[in-house]
């Protein structure tokens, strides 16, 4: 119970987008969004079982085809969505309809009515990040379906607290692009007047990183786990397991996804000859921090 190093259960697992996308699209011919309620290819860590992508984070790739609506419901779990592919899709949260573009993050806070739809011409695919594994320890997770397929909503005008556009994130990451080869952006929500910005939820949050061509980030180790998704670029990540139990090199390109266990040493290298690589990451830092277990090295 008290080892010399943190001892997470999960291993580093990698999902090539080119390899998993055909299965996700095949699912679209087998079952409708209405039948499935949520048509998702779950990214499950084989060292455990569903819903574990890491010890505390669940991730999956969700598909909405043109003209489809994923029925309205609400649930205890918090969810964030990182848009991977498509245009013309939307998520409506508590009556606020938000259009989604690649790289946007859309939040569905705990117990908020929400539905998804696709008004575009092609498939909408996004990465779901939820805190579902937490409810294996606290078995109080449940959901409620809305009486109709759509919860009444109107199109959002201006900014929304439940949507963080990629343009906002990219602007911050590129602020010092001429002088700094690497940068990091931590997703935050603005507090009420007089309050500081805070994590996007009490359990999971997100970050984004930029790595310039030919550059490598400084290795870091934290007591939180990660699900990485490559927004753009090519490169590899060097991951050393807790306690130095093996090193793994994960090569990646745009739209690939991989998971990293807590207290692993991580560094990222961009192998492009020019330009930048951008990584989006779901983490469990708010949960770890709230429990007083936050450590960085």
Could you please report the per-residue DSSP string of 79-94?
EEEEEEE-SSEEEEET
Look up the domain containing 45 and give its range. Answer: 13-291
Task: Judge whether 5 lies within some domain.
Answer: no
Tell me the CATH number at 44.
Answer: 2.60.120.10
Provide the CA 234 distance to its chain's centre, in angstroms.
19
Q: Is residue 2 included in any domain, yes or no?
A: no
pLDDT at residue 192 in the model? 58
4 within domain boundaries: no
Q: Does 184 map to a domain?
A: yes
* pLDDT > 90? residue 155: yes
Average pLDDT score, the chain: 95
pLDDT at 191 exceeding the cut of 70: no
Q: What is the band of 245 on the pLDDT scale with cuts at 50, 70, 90?
A: confident
Q: Which residue has the tokens 């090539």?
A: 16
Q: Which two tokens stand for residue 227?
A: 């699900």
Total domains in the fold of the chain:
1
- So what's the pLDDT on residue 257? 98
Partnered with residue 222 across adjacent β-strands are 296
Model's pTM, two decimal places? 0.96
| Helix or strand (DSSP H, E) at 21 | helix 17-30
In a domain, 297, yes or no: no
Residue 6 lies in a domain: no
| Averaged pLDDT, 239-262 | 94
Give the separation between CA 118 and CA 257, rounded to whole angstroms.
Answer: 23
CB 70 within 8 A of CB 101: no
Beta-bridge partners for 118: 89
Q: How confident is the model at residue 243 (pLDDT cuts 50, 70, 90)?
A: confident
Is residue 95 situated within a structural domain?
yes
Q: Which of 52-56, 94-98, 109-113, 242-246 has the lowest mean pLDDT?
A: 242-246
286's enclosing H/E stretch is helix 285-290
Residue 3 lies in a domain: no
Q: Is the pLDDT of residue 92 over 90?
A: yes
């Amino acid at each position: 119970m008290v080892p010399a190093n943190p001892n997470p259960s999960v291993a580093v697992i990698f999902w090539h987008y080119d390899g998993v996308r055909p299965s996700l699209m095949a699912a679209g011919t087998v079952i409708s969004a209405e039948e499935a309620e949520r048509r998702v290819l779950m990214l499950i860590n084989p060292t455990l079982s569903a819903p574990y992508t890491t010890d505390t984070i669940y991730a999956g790739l969700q598909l909405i085809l043109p003209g489809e609506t994923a029925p309205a419901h609400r649930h205890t779990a918090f969810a964030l969505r990182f848009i991977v592919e498509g245009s013309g899709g939307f998520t409506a949260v508590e009556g606020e309809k938000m259009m989604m573009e690649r790289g946007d993050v859309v939040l569905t806070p705990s117990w908020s009515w929400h539905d998804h739809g696709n008004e575009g011409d092609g498939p909408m695919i996004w990465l779901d990040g939820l805190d579902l594994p937490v409810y294996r320890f606290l078995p109080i997770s449940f959901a409620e379906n809305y009486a109709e397929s759509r919860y009444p909503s109107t199109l959002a005008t201006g900014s929304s607290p439940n949507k963080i556009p990629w343009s906002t994130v990219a602007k911050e990451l590129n602020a010092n692009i001429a002088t700094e080869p690497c940068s990091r952006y931590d997703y935050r929500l603005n507090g009420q007047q007089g309050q500081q910005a805070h994590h996007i939820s009490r359990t999971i949050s997100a970050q984004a990183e930029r790595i310039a061509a030919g550059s490598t980030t400084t290795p870091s180790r934290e007591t939180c786990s990660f699900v990485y998704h490559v927004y753009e670029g090519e490169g590899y990540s060097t991951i050393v397991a807790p306690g130095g139990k093996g090193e793994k090199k994960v090569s990646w390109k745009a739209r690939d996804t991989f998971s990293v266990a807590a207290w692993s040493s991580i560094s990222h290298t961009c192998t492009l000859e020019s330009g930048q690589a951008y990584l989006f990451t779901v983490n469990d830092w708010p949960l770890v921090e709230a429990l007083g277990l936050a450590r960085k090295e």
